Chains A and B, each alone.
Chain A
Amino acid sequence: MSSQVRNEILSKIKSAQRNDPLPRPQLPFLSERALDREQMLERFTAELTSQTGTVYRAKDRKDAERVLSEIAAAEGFKQVIAVGKNLQGIDIKSFGNSNGITVRTLADLKDREALRKAAFAADAGITSADFAIAETGTLGIIFSKDQPRLASIAPPVHIAIVSIEKLYPVYEDAVKQVFGNVNEIPSQFAFITGPSATADIQAISFKGMHGPTKVIVIFIMGQ
């Protein structure tokens, strides 16, 4: 039945007059491509900060654990959900133990229901972002078995740990890697730029509509 409808719609537009579109103009120039790593980091920080996000630079994974502990103490986290393939080497359980925080990782969650319960109850979601894009202070996350979707959208605070190696100038750099091989396209890839927001009532804007109210990015500068 649907194939008949499809054929009907397609044959209607196929039999219409065809105009050959003009050749494309030159691809617009993206000035961000010229940035070096320090400039990219500055641009990323300025852009994300303008969206009320916070950016930290950690020397290494040990330093990242220290930064995480400081954030946890300041925000008063009681329970967090932490996902992402080995989280850039951070020992997240020991972070939880030493700060008195209940940390749930994927190993603790047996199915979708358990994940939903943990993600909606968590004070923060800690994720490992696959890309950071300087252009607009944007995170790029590939969702997979190691990286469920809810961890970065349901909790009120989203903390993303990113290796500095994954900082790129423009969106195209990430998309080429994620969509380059047709057989390895993830079920979802998302760009996240700052906390969720709205201005739907009287054009008064505020952060924290349905997703996180705060977004914190920790760059790991070395090993």
Chain B
Amino acid sequence: MEGKIVAPLDLMQGTVDILVLKALSWGPRHGYAISGWIRERTGGVLTLQDAVLYKSLHRLEERRLLDAEWRPSENNRRAKYYQLTTSGRTALKHEHATWRAYATAVFDVLDANTAGI
């Protein structure tokens, strides 16, 4: 862990799931691609162990929010590609809204505190 202004946050299970769903909203990807995308997007603020990511993928597959398929990767190796199912898409929409409401509520509280100081 490098010295940063904000210490990296550990992610909770539900959080990983929504990030995975979001990562797949642009189309099928394999686990490695999802890992890279999340790393890029969060700029290292959120550390996501790949083990946790794969657990989430297999969990979501079992819950049939994701479909999986083996096919050749960009450099022609066999890779497991995941994609959203219809219920996965619905779940993402729903979770997204919930998260937004949750975050708004948290920010409202934090901003009120700041004004009080």
Q: Do A and B bind each other?
A: no
Q: Which residues of A contact B (CB under 8 A)?
A: none
